[in-house]
């Protein structure tokens, strides 16, 4: 792995957890334990309602902020939606797009996800595009074709320069919140496939600078082994990111080496 180009990235996705005081407490606790000594980039994605307060709590740290979702239009009559411009304005650097929970519960399609990825790039946010198969698809040996379809549609019409910053997170749906992590072989196979696909559809330099994260039941005990897998450049952490001690241990995975 070219560390210069693909500095490891660990992102905590708080999902719909944390009212305002809880979010500030969590962010402050993280800030107090974060020493920023490693070569790791760190981001957290609190709920929209806490983003601004958390951005203030994290001021003067290198912990960056991520939105958990966004809409593709910049502004207008779209009740209940939040645009990339608003996320940028509030201090976000990243935005998670196409998380499997959005696909499953809110019926987001690959086409909508593509519009969001394009809009994120336009707003100068780094999109973290989530892809991954469900259990039925894995059992039917459809993993690679599902992932390929999600890549092809999700990354449609992007310009090469959009890839300066894009992040792709492979999250097998059956591994999310279940305590069941994909095996190193399963993860390596899919990550290798994604890198190869990016090389074919864009070019080798583009593929080589795109960060590929793994997500699905990451915890302090498995983080180091996951980070050792070929082509894994970082982690997308759900449940464990709600516990600052655990999230810090994940960030400091190298210390367990």
Query: Shortest Cβ distance from residue 100 to ligand PGA (Å)?
Result: 7
**Could you say whether residue 218 binds ligand PGA (CB under 6 A)?**
yes
**Could you say whether residue 118 binds ligand PGA (CB under 6 A)?**
no
Could you give the C-alpha distances from 28 to 22, 24, 60, 243, 244, in angstroms and in order? Answer: 10, 6, 12, 12, 9
**Could you say whether residue 237 binds ligand PGA (CB under 6 A)?**
yes
**Could you say whether residue 238 binds ligand PGA (CB under 6 A)?**
yes
- Which of these ranges, 19-27, 40-48, 153-161, 171-179, lies near ligand PGA under the rule CB under 6 A? 171-179
**Could you say whether residue 234 binds ligand PGA (CB under 6 A)?**
no
**Could you say whether residue 18 binds ligand PGA (CB under 6 A)?**
no
- Which of these ranges, 26-34, 44-52, 108-116, 169-177, lies near ligand PGA under the rule CB under 6 A? 169-177
**Could you say whether residue 232 binds ligand PGA (CB under 6 A)?**
no
Site of tokens 């939040």: 82
Positions annotated as catalytic residues are: 99, 171
**Could you say whether residue 215 binds ligand PGA (CB under 6 A)?**
yes
3-state secondary structure the chain: CCCCCCCCEEEEECCCCCCHHHHHHHHHHHHHHCCCCCCCEEEEECCHHHHHHHHHHCCCCCEEEEECCCECCCCCCCCCCCEHHHHHHCCEEEEEECCHHHHHHCCCCHHHHHHHHHHHHHCCCEEEEEECCCHHHHHCCCHHHHHHHHHHHHCCCCCHHHHHCCEEEECCHHHCCCCCCCCHHHHHHHHHHHHHHHHHHCCHHHHHHCEEEEECCCCCCCHHHHHHCCCCCEEEECHHHHCHHHHHHHHCHHHHC
**Could you say whether residue 66 binds ligand PGA (CB under 6 A)?**
no
Query: Shortest Cβ distance from residue 2 to ligand PGA (Å)?
Result: 25
**Could you say whether residue 134 binds ligand PGA (CB under 6 A)?**
no
Query: Shortest Cβ distance from residue 94 to ligand PGA (Å)?
Result: 13
Kindly tell me which residue out of 18, 46, 47, 239 binds ligand PGA, with binding defined by CB under 6 A.
239
**Could you say whether residue 177 binds ligand PGA (CB under 6 A)?**
yes
Kindly tell me which residue out of 13, 23, 68, 150 binds ligand PGA, with binding defined by CB under 6 A.
13
- Which of these ranges, 87-95, 151-159, 191-199, 236-244, lies near ligand PGA under the rule CB under 6 A? 236-244
- Which of these ranges, 35-43, 71-79, 116-124, 234-242, lies near ligand PGA under the rule CB under 6 A? 234-242
**Could you say whether residue 236 binds ligand PGA (CB under 6 A)?**
yes
Instruction: Count CB neighbours of 185 within 10 A.
Output: 9
Site of tokens 């080589």: 208
> How many chain residues touch ligand PGA (CB under 6 A)?
13
Non-local (6+) Cβ contacts of 164 within 8 A are 209
Half-sphere exposure of 108 (CA within 13 A, CB side): 25
* Contact footprint for ligand PGA (CB under 6 A): 13, 171, 176-177, 215-218, 236-240
């Amino acid at each position: 792995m070219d560390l210069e180009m693909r500095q490891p990235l660990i992102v905590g996705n708080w999902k719909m957890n944390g009212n305002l005081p809880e979010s500030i407490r969590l962010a402050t606790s993280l800030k107090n334990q974060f020493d920023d000594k490693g070569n790791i980039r760190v981001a957290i994605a609190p709920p929209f309602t806490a983003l601004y307060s958390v951005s203030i709590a994290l001021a003067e740290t290198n912990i960056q902020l991520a939105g958990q979702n966004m809409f593709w239009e910049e502004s207008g009559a779209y009740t209940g939606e939040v645009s990339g411009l608003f996320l940028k304005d509030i201090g976000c650097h990243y935005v998670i797009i196409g998380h499997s929970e959005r696909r499953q519960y809110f019926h987001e399609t690959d086409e909508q996800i593509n519009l969001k990825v394009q809009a994120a790039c336009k707003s100068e946010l780094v999109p973290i595009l989530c892809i991954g198969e469900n259990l039925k698809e894995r059992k039917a040996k459809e993993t690679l074709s599902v992932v390929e379809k999600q890549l092809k549609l999700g990354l449609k019409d992007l310009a090469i320069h959009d890839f300066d910053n894009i992040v792709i997170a492979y999250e097998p749906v059956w591994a999310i919140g279940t305590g069941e992590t994909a095996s190193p072989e399963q993860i390596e196979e899919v990550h290798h496939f994604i890198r190869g696909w990016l090389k074919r559809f864009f070019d080798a330099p583009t593929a080589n600078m795109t960060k590929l994260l793994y997500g699905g039941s990451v915890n302090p005990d498995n983080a180091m082994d996951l980070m050792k897998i070929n082509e894994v450049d970082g982690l997308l952490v759900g449940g464990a990111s709600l516990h600052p001690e655990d999230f810090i241990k994940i960030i400091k995975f190298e210390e367990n080496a």
